[in-house]
Amino acid sequence: MYTSKAELLQQLEEWELKHKELLEKEEDNEVILARQKIQSIKETLTSNKTKKIVAKVPKGMKDNLPREMAVREKVFKLIIEVFKRHGAVAIDTPVMELKEILVDKYGEESKLIYDVADQGGELCALRYDLTVPFARFVATHKIDNIKRYHIAKVYRRDQPAIERGRFREFYQCDFDIAGIYDPLLPDADCLRVVYEIMQSLELGDFIIKINHRKILNGLFEYCGVPAAQFRTICSSIDKLDKSSWEAVRKEMIEVKGIPACMADQIGEFINYRGWDYYKKTLKVDLILCTLGNTDTAKSGILEIKMLFDYLQCFGVMDRISFDLSLARGLDYYTGVIFETIFTDALVGSVAGGGRYDDLVGRFSKNGRKVPCVGVSIGVERIFTLMEAKLFKLDAEKIISRENETEVYVASTHGCVEERLKIVAELWDAGIKTEFMYKNQPKLLRQFQHCEDLRVPLCVIIGPAELEEGQIIIRDVFLRRDEKVNRSELTSRILAKLNKL
């Protein structure tokens, strides 16, 4: 197997440096072997045997074509509008963090962190999510309260499934509230944010599943799980959205080491899913009354009741489902946890989050505690669904365009200078405008280009029109022309665009 040219050059340099003194000595077997190796590398470099570079992206990552980017920009714009509507400000953090910042914050998921080579004596890693960097950010800048949003790429050394929107490099859109407030009000705000985003996407019916880590811990306590194993059992239950109960049960018994009877008792609770707690169905009351005998679960149940009262006021209870199987295995969650799925789409969770009150304290020298709650929108999975939806739409619809050009300026018989003046005038007016980069373009080709781009308006100029002081504005979709005075061009185009 041949190596690349760059690797061969590096090998040659290393061999010549390593054996510099040796090669100056009298010949013996070691010298001969060294010279033969160096000669072999030189011959390979001058031959055509070096490995050709294959043009491909790394596994679990992808390029995005203009049409895909148009979808992404639409989704990002929609999400940011919701974040800002709720008063969030934007922040940014480095793509790398010190490795010690990230390790041990994600439980069993820590094995998926991408390490980075030693950088000037610092061991770094690519960020796994945006939550831990945010907690470090709050601690670093000694922030007492903030409502922020952050849209950026994160990295996971995971087994990708691109068709299901599972990547190694992907965007997250996070909304978090940090600070000391009355209980559950920030949590309700986060859930309303999720509700608004999912409604705006118009991708089908969705459910927001909710649970509480205290209720889960009370469940484990009731079933006899040792406290030291709460987190690892929680991590197993978190796999129920991807694995069957039989597989999860087997892992808890054979890998985590709990007795079969204990696993079966846990199963009796968590296999009742999709409960609407607010309607107080008999089964839910019986289950929660049983768990309420433990102080840990009782506290969580009271908080869930309060949260659902707030969500009722926010008008989102029609999408809420209390679900004891929801675990969210990340180690930093301390209270309410939630996850959103589209009921008729096989892409898994599209949003998830919860309360993490202790994470900032882990990065503060004095253990300063700043309670936090937040949600992360899984936009890659949303992109997968949105692209599938938009590609089915009629090609004439503006929503499926790759660009946002509003006006195309075309001309006959050159008129290049006047064409450029009109383009500059429209740009100055804030109108998205394009033209063909040719001095003598064919008019038919300009029309075709304009239709291919699905630009709504086309400005047409020619010697005869210019002599009369007039210009033609064409409605591209209706193929209807209208002559206007040159001096009125910009105002007439703005008026037409406002009607689109």
Q: Is 127 annotated as a binding-site member?
A: no
Q: How many CA atoms lie within 13 A of 245 on its CB side?
A: 13
Nearest of 159, 160, 156 to residue 112 by alpha carbon: 156
DSSP state of 119: E
Can you read off the two tokens belonging to residue 449?
């280009």
Nearest of 227, 339, 218 to residue 269 by alpha carbon: 218
CA triplet 459, 463, 466: central angle to 5 degrees?
65
**Cβ(82)–Cβ(190) below 8 Å:** no
Q: How many CA atoms lie within 13 A of 394 on its CB side?
A: 3
Q: Is 273 annotated as a binding-site member?
A: no
**Cβ(191)–Cβ(338) below 8 Å:** yes
Distance between CA atoms of 370 and 196, rounded to whole angstroms?
27
Secondary structure element (H or E) that encloses residue 490, with its range? helix 489-499
Q: Is 332 annotated as a binding-site member?
A: yes
* Total residues found in the chain within this entry: 500
Q: Is 130 annotated as a binding-site member?
A: yes
**Cβ(80)–Cβ(149) below 8 Å:** yes
**Cβ(293)–Cβ(311) below 8 Å:** no
Q: Is 182 annotated as a binding-site member?
A: no
Q: Can you list the pairs that 110-118 forms with residues at least 24 positions away whose Cβ atoms lie under 8 Å?
A: 111/157, 112/156, 112/157, 112/158, 113/156, 113/157, 114/155, 114/156, 114/157
Q: Is 428 annotated as a binding-site member?
A: no
Q: Residue holding tokens 């799925």?
A: 341
Can you read off the two tokens belonging to residue 179?
């600070």
DSSP state of 488: G
Q: Is 144 annotated as a binding-site member?
A: no
Q: Is 106 annotated as a binding-site member?
A: no
Q: Is 156 annotated as a binding-site member?
A: yes
Radius of gyration of the chain (CA): 31
Distance between CA atoms of 69 and 178, rounded to whole angstroms?
32
Residues at the annotated binding site? 129-131, 156, 172, 176, 328, 332-333
Residues at the annotated binding site for L-histidine? 129-131, 156, 172, 176, 328, 332-333
